[in-house]
Amino acid sequence: MKRVAAELALTVRDARVRWIGAMLVLLLALTGFGAWREAQLYAAQAAQITAAERARWLGQDAKNPHSADHFGLWVFRPSAPLAVLDPGTEPYTGRMVRVEAHVFNDAVYRAVQDAGPLVRTGLGTIADIVQLVVPLAAILLGFSAFAADRERGTLRLALGNGAPPGRLFAARFAALLLVLILVVGCPLLAIGGLVMTGQDGADWQVPARLLSWIAVQIAYASVFLLLAMLVSLVARTARAALAAALVAWVLLCVAAPRLATASVDALAPALSYREVRARIDAGFRAHKTAEAGDERAREVLTRYGVDNASELPVDLDGLMMFENESHNFAVYDRELGAFFESLASQERAFAWAGLLSPRVALQALSQTLAGTDFAQHAHFVWSAEAYRRRISERMNGEIRDRPQQGRGRLIAGSELWQQIPPFVHAPLPFTQSLADARVPALVLALWLALLAGLSLPMIRRLKP
């Protein structure tokens, strides 16, 4: 403890440390505040448009229920509160989904056109800073830990007078880690606090997500701190240590993630979206031919034991529409289910690709804990689809159950519209996110263990 305090005192006297700290705090504060404002704006817009859409749905003219189904409405994906810290997949997926008859809107990779201005300007997010700039800062803090002492000659005096290398390393690591916690952890906590005051993210379990998210970022930063200190254990000069650590940074943070993406694409390719859509169309087409329709109509008459549609207790068109939709739902489930599963398995492969780069592991971990991962998006898409199907089934059911017997088309009014509840999306619970975070967390832990394991023998052999 005394050693840590002494190291900390020495560290904070270093002008370089103060500069790095100030820059990080400033950068995180500015970016975080910007993202928070952005999120507030988005939340307000989403609430406004959601209310307008609800009013538009309820206020629509009296019309045939199927026309109302086509009339449709827009639903919003609620942004995860911690998207302020890590927007994850949110900028690359649609924020609004149109709910309408027959069409499953999947809102995958809707990319830039409805992404926020922050992303459009390429200004960088908190996650970008934590993934790229914080490791750099950790390296700038750690590279001199032993190399500068070796170069100056103070390491000789210290080691020759009974400073145990293991404790020296531990104390220096602890002191630098405390600095990182102070200049990274605290600003992140403050931004998280800001997020919590503004939004009612109760079903997001924001505090638990925030704390685990920050812990993971600190763990990631310590990977690079350890790396820099490890290089510093053997480098002859501080300059050589810095150069080597920077090369490692480029490899791990810039080059390896590209390699990871390329290998995941090669080893676990996603299904082609166009082919999936073509298979869906084919599935519909086979069902939609005139002969198939006549066949199903005859089957219905047989089922009810009547010769003529006018003798049916139900509306034939409504019934057939209802049953056709069930068929379509099954096609969607099968084809888009496979498509989403291929994307999800890519995500899983990506988490393992973290073995190539801690940044890749962190990316997966960070999005999952923030609630902005692909799983959350897929969950939203399917819950919007479930809502759409409820509307279709209610509208088609209304037609089916009210046969008009030649009185023309059924016209429904606002009592029916009101039977459709507003869309409410419940995100995947935190426990689910934790389960999804297991692999990337393991991979990040492996990185820490690897570096700690490498440094142990080097610490024992520490020379002035």
Partner 1 sequence: MHIEQRELPQAEADNPVLAIRAAVKRFGARTALNGLDLTLRAGEVFALLGPNGAGKTTTINLILGFLKPDAGAVQVCGIEAGSDPVGARGHVAYIPEQVALYPGLSGIENLRYFATLAGLDLSVDASRRLLTEAGLPEEAQGRPAASYSKGMRQKVGIAVALARQARLLLLDEPTSGLDPSAAADFSVTVRHAAERGTAVLMATHDLYRVREMADRVGVLSRGRIVEDIDPKTLDHVALEHLYIERLAEITA
Angle in degrees, 0-180, between the axes of helices 165-180 and 438-460, rounded to the nearest 10: 140
> 401 and 318 in contact (C-beta within 8 Å)?
yes
Span of 85-93, 120-128, 275-283, 456-464 interacting with partner 1 by CB under 8 A: 456-464
Please list the residues that pair with 448 across neighbouring strands: none
Residue 151 or residue 393: which is nearer to partner 1 going by CB? Answer: 151
> Of 113-121, 148-156, 238-246, 292-300, which part binds partner 1 (CB under 8 A)?
148-156
Asked if 457 is part of the footprint of partner 1 (rule: CB under 8 A), the reply reads: no
Q: Is 463 in the site for partner 1 (CB under 8 A)?
A: yes
User: Cβ closer to partner 1: 120 or 463?
Assistant: 463
Window contacting partner 1 (CB under 8 A); options: 149-157, 231-239, 338-346, 353-361: 149-157
Question: Which of 12/309 has CB closer to partner 1?
Answer: 12
- Residues 62-101 interacting with partner 1 (rule: CB under 8 A): none
Which of 356, 361, 86, 89 is closest to 219 using CA atoms? 361
Q: How far is the CB of 242 from partner 1 (least distance, A)?
A: 19
Q: Give the residue among 389, 383, 419, 395 at the shortest CA–CA distance from 76.
A: 383
Q: How far is the CB of 147 from partner 1 (least distance, A)?
A: 14
Residue whose CB is less far from partner 1, 16 or 258: 16
User: Of the ranges 147-155, 180-188, 189-197, 262-270, which one interacts with partner 1 (CB under 8 A)?
Assistant: 147-155
Distance separating alpha carbons of residues 49 and 35, to the nearest angstrom: 21
**Pick 13 or 407: Cβ nearer partner 1:** 13
Beta bridge partners of residue 412, listed in sequence order = 63
| Number of shown-chain residues binding partner 1 (CB under 8 A) | 24
Q: By CB under 8 A, what part of segment 3-62 binds partner 1?
A: 3, 6, 10, 13
**409 lies in the binding site for partner 1 (CB under 8 A):** no
Residues 6+ apart with CB under 8 A from 136: 224, 249
Kindly tell me which residue out of 2, 59, 308, 406 binds partner 1, with binding defined by CB under 8 A.
2
**How many angstroms separate the Cα of 193 from the Cα of each of 32, 84, 118, 227?**
11, 11, 21, 31
Here the tokens at position 182 are 């102070």
Where does this chain touch partner 1 (CB under 8 A) — which range of 110-118, 152-160, 310-318, 382-390?
152-160
Let me know: does 77 contact 97? Beta carbons within 8 Å.
yes
Q: Which of 423, 434, 443 is nearest to 373 (CA)?
A: 434
Q: What single string gives the DSSP state of each residue in 336-350?
A: HHHHHHHHHHHHHHH
Helices marked H in 353-402: 358-370, 374-401
Place of tokens 């925030």: 210
Least CB distance from residue 464 to partner 1, whole Å?
6
Q: Is 236 in a helix, a strand, or coil?
A: coil
147/11 Cα distance (integer angstroms): 15
- Asked whether position 211 contacts partner 1 by CB under 8 A, the answer is no
Token duo for residue 394? 């209610």
Structure tokens at 343: 């994307």
* Residue 462 Cβ vs partner 1, minimum distance, rounded to whole Å: 9
The residues pairing with 98 across neighbouring beta strands, listed in sequence order, are 74
| Binding pattern for the stretch 154-193 against partner 1, x by CB under 8 A and - elsewhere | x-xxxxxxxxxxxxx-------------------------
Closer CB to partner 1, residue 129 or residue 233? 233
* In the complex, least distance from residue 224 CB atom to partner 1, rounded to whole angstroms: 25
Cα angle at 459 between 457 and 460, to 5 degrees?
65
Closer CB to partner 1, 152 or 236, in the complex: 152
Nearer to partner 1, 113 or 161 (CB): 161
Asked if 293 interacts with partner 1 (CB under 8 A), we say no
CA distance 263 to 353: 8
Task: Judge contact between 139 and 245, C-beta under 8 A.
Answer: yes
- Indicate whether 286 belongs to the interface with partner 1 (CB under 8 A): no
The nearer residue to partner 1, 18 or 56, going by C-beta atoms, is 18
Count of C-beta atoms within a 10 Å radius of residue 425? 15
Q: Please pick, from the candidates 117, 153, 293, 453, the single residue that binds partner 1 as defined by CB under 8 A.
A: 153
HEC letters along 391-415: HHHHHHHHHHHCCCCCCCCCCECHH
Report residue 396 as tokens.
């088609």
11/328 with CB nearer partner 1: 11
Cβ proximity to partner 1: between 158 and 458 the closer is 158
Residue ranges binding partner 1 (CB under 8 A): 2-3, 6, 10, 13, 152-154, 156-168, 460, 463-464
